[in-house]
Structure 1
Amino acid sequence: MEEVLASVEARLRSALGEPDARAAVTFLGTDRIEVLRFRDEDGGLVRYATLGMSAAPMADPTAAFADPHKGPRAELVLSVRAGRADTDKVLRPLAVLAASPQVEGVVVAPGASLDVGEPLWPGAAFTSVLVAEPGGLVEDLELTEPMEPVRFLPLLPMTSNEAAWKRVHGAAALQERWLTHGTDLRDPLRRPVSLD
């Protein structure tokens, strides 16, 4: 576990630079989840990445036996524009989402919706996120067999109306809607996309 997390942190550092802050959260009955903050001064972005979710593979909650080696592994990455909102308060909600495979037996994969039931940060219109496809920002981290690679899953904040629309029409349709309307998904103060 420690070797996996050391490799994951090294991959995050090579892709995003040195973290300028980190926080740790422990939930009853779970391993510690850390959230690292990276600043991209050139792009005016701040990125938050979890560290600890990939320590164990995610298991199908209906499986009779959870294999300690096989199964998907992931960490979560959220990118937002810096200085527009108090987004550092997203650390606990991100840790909650990262702990969901351990706590609820959820397998987090692209296209999934994850809801924390409260604003992601003070004043945010978003209580949930859409899990996007990995590979663009941080490349998958290959592990020794039989372990599966660690995937770094981008999170796209959703309003409650967007999340409801996504449940009916699907993740691809919502992403197409965002693209068509030129939605800046990194804007922590963005307005909901038109769903008419």
Structure 2
Amino acid sequence: MADVLALVEARLREALGEPDARASVTFLGTDRVEVLRFPAENRGRAVRYATLGMSAQPMSDPTAVLADPVKGPRAELVLSVKGGVADTDKVLRPLAVLAASPQVEGLVVAPGSSLDVGEPLWPGAPFTSVLVAEPGGLVADLDLDEPMEPVRFLPLLPMTPNEAAWKRVHGAQALQERWLNKGTDLRDPLRAGVALD
């Protein structure tokens, strides 16, 4: 599946430019996951972090007796935050943990899902989890040869613990509408949680 990852990296470079840093993490019993950092053009612009390795294997239904080695959804994760505001480069390991979760925990990561790392995403971050948003805006889906499904590049939206709890009750769409109605800057790495009353 190295050829899949080469195509994925080419798509990321095409959409986001040249990465200026990369880190790799290997978890026991899983394939290596890399996280690429795409720099901000200037202070206050978005820094992008993208995983590379999650799409090497298709995600499979955890209730399936046997995982299909070819068919099934494939994805990589993309996080965008304002540069120069916080030490967000420490998000590399948490992102790799999230990208490894389909292999480690048998999760199928899809839009509307919540993913929790149980600790701040970076030092001083008010966020311990992310909401998986709809793909297609920043990085277009990557079509693969049949019968493989396309690789989708899923944006991640950091959530405070209160927002995550509210989302569990009211749903992902309701939380996104609340963010939109309140004019929440979801790329601000130090933003306060949105009012949920």
Normalising by structure 2, we get a TM-score of 0.98
Verify: 1:184 aligned to 2:175, yes or no.
no
Q: Which residue of 2 aligns with 1:108?
A: 109
The one-character-per-residue Cα deviations of 1:34-77 (angstroms, maximum 9, x if unpaired) are: 00000131671100000000000000010011110000000000
| Residue 32 of structure 2 is aligned to residue 32 of structure 1 | yes
- Pick which of 39-48 and 152-161 moved more: 39-48
Work out the number of aligned pairs and report it: 196
CA distance in 1, matches of 2:117, 2:55: 20
| Structure-2 residue corresponding to 1:97 | 98
What amino acid is aligned across from residue 107 of structure 2 in structure 1?
V
Give CA deviations for 1:142-194 in whole Å, capped at 9, x if unaligned.
Answer: 00000000000000000000000000000000000000000000000001000
**Which residue of 1 is the match for residue 45 of structure 2?**
44
Question: In the alignment, does 2:119 pair up with 1:118?
Answer: yes
Say which SS state the counterpart of residue 39 (structure 2) adopts: strand
Residue type matched to 1:95 in 2?
Answer: A
Q: CA deviation at 1:18?
A: 0.2
- Whichever residue aligns with residue 125 of structure 2, its letter is A
Where in structure 1 do 4 or more consecutive aligned residues deviate above 3 Å?
Answer: none
Counterpart of 1:68 in structure 2 is 69
**What stretches of structure 2 of length at least 5 have no aligned partner?**
none
CA–CA distance in 2 between the matches of 1:86 and 1:34? 19
Kindly state the Cα deviation for residue 93 of structure 1 after the two structures are TM-superposed. 0.2
SS of the aligned residue for 2:120 comes to coil
SS of corresponding position for 2:152: strand
Distance 2:41 2:130 in 1: 24
The equivalent of 1:12 in structure 2 is 12
Gap regions ≥5 residues in structure 1: none
1:24 is paired with a residue whose SS is: strand
| Aligned amino acid, residue 139 of structure 1 | A
Q: Which amino acid aligns with 1:6?
A: A
Q: Distance in 2 between matches of 1:31 and 1:81?
A: 30
| Rounded Cα–Cα distance in structure 1 between residues aligned with 2:173 and 2:26 | 34
Counterpart of 1:127 in structure 2 is 128
Distance 1:136 1:25 in 2: 27
Instruction: Quote the Cα distance in structure 2 between the aligned partners of 1:91 and 1:40.
Output: 16
Given residue 68 of structure 2, which amino acid in structure 1 is its aligned partner? D
Overall identity of the aligned pairs, in %: 84
Mapped to 2, the partners of 1:20 and 1:165 lie a distance apart of 36
Question: For the residues of structure 1 that align with 2:188 and 2:11, how far apart are their CA atoms?
Answer: 26
What is the TM-score when the length of structure 1 is the normalising length?
A: 0.99
| In structure 1, distance between residues paired with 2:125 and 2:40 | 22
Deviation per CA, 1:21-42: give whole Å up to 9, x if none.
0000000000000000001316
